[in-house]
Amino acid sequence: TTGLAKMGNSIRAGRCQSVEPGVYDQFLRKMLALPKVASNNRIRHHFEYEIAITALTQQDIDQYEIFAKKAFLDFPSYSVASSIALNIAQKGKIDDAISWIDEFPKYAANDLQSKSWISQIESMREALLEIKNHMSELDVKPRQEILESGKQ
């Protein structure tokens, strides 16, 4: 699986010019659909994470969020969880980011790890709450809400 990550990094960086990121994404999804991959979370999370970071490099935050959360649930780690929160917030979905921050420590391996994750993410949570409060004081809509209202 480290070979998969190296290959993915090369494709996303443009060093593997014969394979486009979209083709790599299709390959990953086909592999993920195989019963031996789909039924084994120790393998599956590698493919889910590769799909997530490939989506992120293509600026598809929705797909990033879906697959990064799947990878996290298969193999919880603080770095993935905090990255998900940051990318949700950057998309302008402040409430969703705060909800994720409140949710992900529940998946920690034990209480000590959960407390550690909470203390590490607390400053981001506080900053998001402050942003949310300032936005409501100024009657500013989140970026995502503005984008969605323009689709109508």
Q: What is the pLDDT of residues 85-107, one digit of tens each?
A: 999 999 989 999 999 999 999 99
Residue linked to tokens 């443009």: 14
* pLDDT score at 118: 97
Q: Is the pLDDT of residue 149 over 70?
A: no
144 pLDDT band (50/70/90 cuts)?
low
* pLDDT score at 142: 64
**In the chain, what is the greatest distance between 2 CA atoms, to the nearest angstrom?**
52
Give the global pTM. 0.85
DSSP state of 142: P
| Whole-number Cα distances in Å, 34 to 29, 37, 48, 68, 135 | 9, 5, 13, 19, 46
What Rg, from alpha-carbon coordinates, does the chain have?
17
The length of the chain is: 152
Residue 1: name the closest of 35, 39, 30, 41 by CA.
41
* pLDDT score at 85: 97
